[in-house]
Chain A
């Protein structure tokens, strides 16, 4: 009854539990004949002569002249079947339907696992990509921030440089005036006050510069010999007028026994003291502010006490943690930068800082800094008029005049040049005993000039003069051929001591 192609196909099928359903249809999907049970494969009863395209939707679009197959079809019944089309010679079609449920379920389980894993993997990959993008973005931001910080540092350094040159004149002339005046002249005190205020401004400028250095992690320690008595006097001179303005009693205590010469980074110590004292004065409305300096066991002990409002236990922890944090949210109003720098500086000098306070009973900051005893050089007597000829190359005429005043009095004769080019010509033509050169000069700067001097055969000592205090500038100057380095504002006694050393 069934044609050969169909029975051949049936013979090749595995023996399945559900016997196949075989339909014979014409080109219009009309059922001609059938074998097997439609219900067993999920279909309704199928009667001969009926259009099957509704019950068997996969018949739509089928080419009745071609053999072909469809695997794993759910025709809407929920029952998966395999379909085989076998055309007969008369342009009609045998459709063989076999059960495929078991295989369908197995494939589904396996495929579900595979696809879920792949989805998970894709999701992970996407997150990873986002993470990488975020990190790249952050890196970029960080580099931008670092660059901004570097630019800020350079800006602060050049601002401080700009300040130093005029401050040298202010301080130098004020000191010169004070010295030249009659000791009883009341104006002498005023001239000293100008010099002190000038020094204070230098400290403020240094605070800014220090912050820039700390931000760029390029702060280094410069050890000097510090006369503690001088330090105490200076602090008194700077802070007493400020305290007096607010009607506060101000005192500095230093046991004469402790008045040693010690090794410390003087600029940093001054900054620490000025910052702590400045805060104490700022937050104390009545009573006193006092500074106690003591020296014991190679350590400088500093205590800054006040009768201000005090700091509650809870806030104290916050203040100390605010010290730690550059952008701390709980900074004491207005105390921010000063206190923050103070802690950084104390750390830089390998010291420690603490606070005793109770609300209503004032505050006491105490700082401890390592400060070994300095080897005191033989006290040099007033410069003998040993003399010597010094070439000064400096374009700032105020500073030139100041040098003429001080160095002239110390017994030196000066050749003057207003730029590096002139200095080179003069020094090579008639070599002086020593050259002092500003680094920042028109026509030819100090670095270029000293190079030419050294190349031209000048081998006397050379001192560089600059407003910059960056270590890299020092290194640059020394490697170009300078023997020494003096930072503006110039302290004349220091400069003279250096001249004496080098001219010998």
Chain B
């Protein structure tokens, strides 16, 4: 059986929890300590979706609020995006939307899911429900996740995997 191998880029502003989301997904661990990501770090995990094997090569890209040439070079050839924002800093959702917009203009549309992370920080939560609804009404898959507790991290990434597998079937 053929394994579908996909390059996935995880994008978003700095400190929204991109690295933590990958760590939760790939190694099932979490650390409170903030360690900034430089350049890009690549991790791999295999999943099976409806009997199909998919190998996700996840590019954890250094956080930024605007892509430069360096980041664009990382995005080239990606099959899907995990778009991460920090629910306790609502402006990071604006940044996330702008980043996917920039990526789409450069490389065309690919499947993507939004992760509004740090959902465990209920007291500091800033993103109103209406905003989430608005995104969903616009056709986006949106997950309220917590890399810390693990809530919805797998669900979000599986949703992207489903899209990739479905897209593969279409071709």
Query: What is A's interface to B at a CB cutoff of 8 Å?
Result: 53, 57-58, 60-63, 68-76, 80, 100, 104, 107-108, 111-112, 115-116, 118-119, 122, 126
Contact = CB atoms under 8 A, between A and B. Distances in A.
B44 A63 contact: no
Contacts of B5: 53, 60
A71 B74 CA distance: 9
Given A61-B76, A68-B76, A71-B70, A76 B42 contact: yes
Interface of B: 5-7, 14-15, 34-36, 38-44, 57, 62-63, 70, 73-74, 76-79, 89, 124
Contacts of A69: 73
Given A53-B5, A75-B42, A115-B15, A70 B73 contact: yes
Given A57-B44, A60-B7, A60-B57, A72 B38 contact: yes
B39 A80 contact: yes
Nearest to A77: B42
A61 B42 contact: no
Contacts of B79: 61
Given A63-B77, A69-B73, A116-B34, A74 B40 contact: yes
A108 B41 contact: no
A112 B35 contact: yes
A70 B44 CA distance: 18
A100 B41 CA distance: 13
A111 B36 contact: yes
16 contacts: A57-B42, A60-B57, A60-B77, A61-B7, A61-B57, A63-B77, A68-B73, A71-B73, A73-B39, A73-B42, A74-B42, A76-B43, A104-B38, A111-B36, A115-B34, A119-B15
A115 B14 contact: yes
Nearest to A53: B5
A37 to B, nearest CB: 21
Given A80-B39, A111-B36, A115-B14, 16 more contacts: A57-B57, A60-B5, A60-B6, A61-B79, A68-B76, A72-B39, A73-B41, A74-B40, A74-B42, A76-B41, A108-B38, A112-B35, A115-B34, A119-B15, A122-B89, A126-B124
B23 to A, nearest CB: 13
A71 B40 CA distance: 8
Nearest to B55: A60
A100 B42 CA distance: 15
A122 B90 CA distance: 11
Nearest to B43: A76
B53 to A, nearest CB: 14
Given A76-B44, A115-B15, A119-B15, A62 B77 contact: yes
B33 to A, nearest CB: 11
B10 to A, nearest CB: 14
Contacts of B34: 112, 115-116, 119
